[in-house]
Structure 1
Amino acid sequence: MEVCANSLRSALVAQEGGAIRVELCDNLHEGGTTPSYAQIAMAKKILDIDVFPIIRPRGGDFLYTDLEFELMKEDIKICKQLKCEGVVFGILKADGTVDEERCAELIALAGDMEVTFHRAFDRTRDLFEAMETIIKLGCTRILTSGGHPRVDEGVFDIEDLVIAANDRIIIMPGGGVSIENVVRLVKATKMIEFHASAMSTVPTEMMYKNSHMSEGSRKDLDYQLSDIELIKELIYWANNPM
């Protein structure tokens, strides 16, 4: 199991719960953006599992300006300096194809780090065409929900991708993986890795609340954190499908 960790705290929970790797992100409400230098550096300092920071300068689409592309290159250099095991990114062209030239440049910068092509893949015009390009580029894996918002809807497409990949690249389901569907995913897609955030809401411990803020509600002070019991349960059912 790879956990999509929205913070260093979540990454620590992921490790304790049995994850093999974290995709370290910020701003998950935007689909995940590049975490800070401090988050990456501290993660590498205190975690024993693999750390794969996402390289994404903003939310929204995956069509980047020259300036944004330069930021991505600098972030990959930082990850390499900090000895991260891998990075996660994806760049598309306006026509819905993979930006092979720019991705190749980032992969070259990554050097020995593994590269996961993230769910920009699900926005491509043809999943199988995109997969062949990504295989040619030399990525280690593709994170996908099968071209749909959630894996529940894309399960048969994921199965077809696994068959077409024929062990040339890892197809890693992600996007709505839950206790309710993980067994079905294992059986249908023959997945060997999967990706989930496995989060729950942590209520604020603030005693004081400003009644003028959020109409007096404290819910805006709650936050999301990876849930160790959920991680353990997902791993259990993924390894013990009935």
Structure 2
Amino acid sequence: MTAPLLEIAANSLASALAAQEGGADRIELCENLGEGGTTPSHGTLSMVRDKLRIPVYALIRPRGGDFLYDEVELETMRRDIEHCVRLGCDGVVIGALDADGDVDADACRVLMAAAGGLGATFHRAFDAARDRAQALQDIVALGCERVLTSGGANDASTGAASIADAVRSGAGRIRVMAGAGITVDNVREIAARSEAQEFHASARSLRRSAMRHRQQGLSGLEPDRMQTDAAVVRALVERLRGL
């Protein structure tokens, strides 16, 4: 059996470097994790690609909210993917649904074509699909190498049985990566119950600002921030490797 793989959702260059330092196998580079993640900026992508040795997958998502995209949003995503190709990213993370909650195969084929030879992960739009069993077959048909899922639940622990169903259904055709709410305390239990071999976590802790002046009462402008913590990544790796 291959060793479990850990992917870290990194929302900045600092988080990406911490993920690498902690022993992560791959990062998903994104912004706005509070909204489920959006496409990172050119500067962030470029700096991360220059400084990381581990594989870098870029999240391609123009906004938070649903996964139903209009023509302008689809063209934005296509151009973002072409940008990732030029920068030398290892892969992209995509996903789109139609208004009925099915995989939007036409939209996804446009994105896959833009990606060319890059790897492709189908993100948690899968969890929002009307029929996940059918969605998995559609994602396999698109040629995605993996799908990220919480098993249709709020977190991977709750959805572990459904993740295991997807692992068995996709065996030999697509990799199933468990994600959402994965921590040092629950990763081994999730791994055992889900039967997954790939895991997705943010491994963040509170990063205290160096600001001496702290303006009070500015909601949304608090100086402290959440950032990937190399020590947490290292602990996750140790727990997974100890299986």
Alignment TM-score > 0.5, same fold: yes
Q: TM-score range by the shorter chain?
A: over 0.9
What does residue 89 of structure 1 align with? 94
What does residue 25 of structure 1 align with? 30
Greater mean deviation of Cα atoms: 184-193 or 4-13: 184-193
The 5 A counterparts of 1:7-156 are 7-156=12-161
- TM-score w.r.t. the length of structure 1 is 0.95
Matched, 1:214 2:225: no
Q: Compute the displacement of 1:209 (Å).
A: 2.1
Runs (4 or more) in structure 1 with deviation over 2 Å come to: none
Matched, 1:236 2:238: yes
Partner Cα distance (1:167, 1:173) in 2: 17
Aligned to 1:221, the other structure's residue is in SS state coil
Partner Cα distance (1:99, 1:142) in 2: 15
- TM-score w.r.t. the length of structure 2 is 0.95
**Could you list the runs of 5+ residues in structure 1 that have no partner in the other structure?**
none
The 5 A counterparts of 1:183-202 are 183-202=188-207
Partner Cα distance (2:223, 2:135) in 1: 41
Q: Compute the displacement of 1:167 (Å).
A: 2.2
- On the 8 A contact 2:163/2:196 being kept in 1, the answer is no
Partner Cα distance (2:70, 2:147) in 1: 23
| Identical pairs, percent | 45
- On the 8 A contact 2:15/2:227 being kept in 1, the answer is yes
User: CA offsets, 1:4-41, max 9 Å, x none?
Assistant: 00101100000010011110000111110000001111
Aligned partner of 1:6 among 2, 11, 14: 11
RMSD: 1.4
**Could you list the runs of 5+ residues in structure 2 that have no partner in the other structure?**
1-5
User: CA offsets, 1:119-153, max 9 Å, x none?
Assistant: 01000011110000000110010000000111111
Q: Which amino acid aligns with 1:206?
A: M
Q: Which amino acid aligns with 1:135?
A: V
Q: Compute the displacement of 1:180 (Å).
A: 1.9
Q: Which amino acid aligns with 1:236?
A: E
Partner Cα distance (1:219, 1:235) in 2: 33
- On the 8 A contact 1:203/1:219 being kept in 2, the answer is no
Greater mean deviation of Cα atoms: 161-170 or 117-126: 161-170
